Amino acid sequence: MSKSSTVLRKCQERLNYEFRDLSLLKVALTHASSADSRRDSNERLEFLGDAVLDLVICQDLYERLPEALEGDLTKIKSAVVSRRVCARVADQLQLPEALTLGQGMEPDDHLPRSLAAAVLESIIAAIHLDGGLEAARKFILTQMAEEISTATYSDHQYNFKSQLQQYAQRRLRATPVYELLDEKGPDHAKCFEIAVTVGAQQFSGAWGPNKKEAEQKAAWLALRELGVVTGEFPEFHTDIESPIK
């Protein structure tokens, strides 16, 4: 078996996808530096793969977060499809090592991170053309599941106050109002208790090391009481407990 065939076989194993048209995979792994012309490189596939990736992630977030506002969805999507994230996923799949590069470039060199991100997008397009959108969707959501989850529930990307406001305005025809119930501790280490009221209903109060954190947990508690979320307050948020009396 030739070196090229071995590379393609191992690459398919890592992708957990077997191509019907191996020429698509070959092109996806062909950097412009090694192609006779730029049209023979993976640049056109990169263009298509970028669009397919956006579509799949946008639809997944749209279905996953029915109460999220457009701005929240945009922030999360931008985090998931960033060059940094795509490069990390490409590295996990060892895609840069499978690239065919021109003279003077070696896979073990310190290649630009944009190159790793580009080859992932090229692979996505190749799978899309070979097996259809559903095959590409399965690949993306499998390989990027952790990244999607992290971005969705990151403090910086997802806002329970925003979710509650959207839910309250659409379903309850009311706007949430946050009230400071209590505060304890010295000035340098205060804790705050905040409760949210929606219409005539006041929900359980929540403690936090600052008002912002307390409001976020108060919103989450309201969402839980309304049946919108379940389980425990996500561990990625600051651990919030009632202060010692």
239 is catalytic: no
Helix axes 113-131, 83-92, angle to 10 degrees: 70
Under 8 Å CB-to-CB from 238, ≥6 apart: which residues? Answer: 208, 209, 213
H or E element, residue 180: strand 177-184
121 is catalytic: yes
- Is residue 154 within 8 A of residue 79, CB to CB? The reply is yes
Active-site residue, selected from the candidate residues 121, 130, 147, 215 = 121
The SS3 call for residue 208 is strand
Active-site residue, selected from the candidate residues 46, 50, 72, 147 = 50
H or E element, residue 207: strand 206-208
Q: Which residues are catalytic?
A: 50, 121
